[in-house]
Structure 1
Amino acid sequence: MKKVALLFLCAYALNAAQFNPAMQGYIDELRLEAKKLDPNFKDFDALRGEKIFTTKNIGKNSQEISCQSCHGSDLKKEAKNIFTGKTIAPLSPSANPSRLSDVKEVKKWLKRNFKDVYLREGTAIEKGDVLYYLIKQ
């Protein structure tokens, strides 16, 4: 019986971080778009999101950068934008509850940051994967 309770507790902990209703609606929109792009699409994946977030590319100003270049490797701490020098509040929703709460802001920054790092807009699958990664931080 203890093992079953422990399994439920672990499952709950893994899924404890959730999107607010507005953001869940955006995730659902991304999921529909992702299924149009790939009929075999099942769901977003935080591990793929982590890879997108940490992989370096030749991005803005021909610099080799990743999302971590500005947001840092510990998303629970402030970081500094390498282009502007401005301080960036923690990206982790657990450290900064306002993160991933406003759909308009999330869309704006996903678009801008994908263009900075990848020199293109992210696909629905990439955006969903990154959001799954971030919500777990």
Structure 2
Amino acid sequence: MLGAMLQAQGFNPAMQEYINTLKAQAKQENPNFKDFSSSEGEKIFKLKNQGKNGEMISCQSCHGVDLKQGHTNAFTGKAIPALAPSANPTRLTEVKEVKKWLKRNFKDVFLREGSAQEKGDVLYYLIKQ
């Protein structure tokens, strides 16, 4: 069953372990937590907020609308490779990198670190891209 779940979600074993850790944290934060939601992750990804430098931004400001295409960082002008794992198989494979970028990007857009629920929702959205 676990093998089928990993295959269905698309996460490698290390990332699935991180997802499981986020689920445990989300359950501690909210006893009614059941599972992450890709539709909620999509809402978070698209939500505009007064973020870094006081600008109204969303995750799409740097990653673009089509996650299968590269985009340009709105702050640095640097190229960002496609975020969608279907277009860039190296995405969402290294837990250390995923943690670093989730933390940094939540702080840039929402001026705070995301909750376990928010991180999991965003990861469920991204893995489907």
Q: Give the structure-1-normalised TM-score.
A: 0.88
1:119 aligns to 2:92 (yes or no): no
Aligned ranges 1:51-130 → 2 under 5 Å: 51-130=43-122
Query: What residue number does 2:35 align with?
Result: 43
Name the Cα RMSD after superposition: 1.2
Bigger CA radius of gyration = 1
How many Å separate the matches in 2 of 1:97 and 1:56?
A: 27
1:26 aligns to 2:22 (yes or no): no
- Over residues 30-72 of structure 1, what are the superposed CA-to-partner deviations in whole Å (9 max), with x where a residue is unaligned? 0000000000000000000000000100000000000000000
How many Å separate the matches in 2 of 1:64 and 1:93?
A: 27
| Matched length | 124
* Structure 2 runs not aligned, ≥5 long: none
Q: Give the structure-2-normalised TM-score.
A: 0.94
Q: Could you tell me the percent identity over the aligned residues?
A: 69
Paired letter, 2:84 = S
